[in-house]
Amino acid sequence: MSAAVSFEHVSKRFDTARGPLQALQGVAFDIQPGEFFGLLGPNGAGKTTLISILAGLSRPSSGRVTVFGADVQAEPMQARRRLGIVPQELVFDPFFTVREALRFQSGYFGIRDNDAWIDELLAGLGLADKADTNMRQLSGGMKRRVMVAQALVHRPPVIVLDEPTAGVDVELRQTLWAFISRLNRDGSTVLLTTHYLEEAEALCGRIAMLRAGRVIALERTADLLQRASSNVLRFKTDQALPPALAARARVTGRIAQVKVHDAYEVERTLAMLREAGIVMEDIEVHKADLEDVFLELMADQRDAEARA
Angle CA(28)–CA(32)–CA(35) in degrees, nearest 5? 115
Task: List the pLDDT tens digit at each of the 308 positions of the chain.
Answer: 689 999 999 999 988 777 788 999 999 999 999 999 999 988 888 999 999 999 999 999 999 999 999 999 999 999 999 999 998 777 777 788 999 999 999 988 889 889 999 999 999 998 999 999 998 898 888 888 899 999 999 999 999 999 888 767 788 888 889 999 999 999 999 999 988 888 998 999 999 999 989 998 999 998 888 776 568 888 999 988 888 888 878 888 888 888 887 788 889 899 989 988 989 988 888 777 787 778 777 777 776 767 76
* CA 48 vs CA 42, 162, 193, 300, 307: distances in Å: 11, 8, 9, 23, 28
Q: Residue 98 in contact with residue 140, Cβ under 8 Å? A: no
Closest of 307, 298, 303 to residue 214, by C-alpha: 298
| Cα(106)–Cα(118) distance, integer angstroms | 9
Beta strand ranges found along the chain (DSSP E)? 5-16, 19-31, 36-40, 62-67, 70-71, 83-86, 158-162, 189-193, 206-211, 214-220, 231-236, 249-252, 255-260, 281-287
**Rounded Cα distance, 38 and 5, in Å:** 13
Residue 1: per-residue pLDDT: 62
The pLDDT of residue 165: 81
How do the domains of the chain map onto residue ranges? 5-225, 230-287
SS3 173: helix
Spatial neighbors of 99 by CB under 8 A, at least 6 apart, are 118, 122, 131, 132
From the DSSP assignment, how many helices (H) and strands (E) are in the chain? 11, 14
- Amino acid in position 253: G
CB 17 within 8 A of CB 186: no
Instruction: Kindly report the CATH class assigned to 5-225.
Output: alpha beta
Say what the pLDDT of residue 229 is. Answer: 58
3-state SS track over 214-244: EEEEEEEHHHHHHCCCCEEEEEECCCCCCHH
**65: alpha, beta or left? (left if phi > 0; alpha if psi -120 to 50):** beta
- CA dist 231 and 267 (Å) reads 13
What is the separation of C-alpha 70 from the centre of its chain, rounded to a whole number of angstroms?
24
How far is residue 163's CA from residue 45's CA, in Å, rounded to a whole number?
A: 14
Distance, in Å, from the CA atom of 220 to the CA atom of 302, rounded to the nearest integer, reads: 23
Cβ atoms of residues 14 and 23 within 8 Å: yes
CA distance 173 to 165: 6
- CA–CA distance, 8 with 28 (Å, rounded to integer): 5
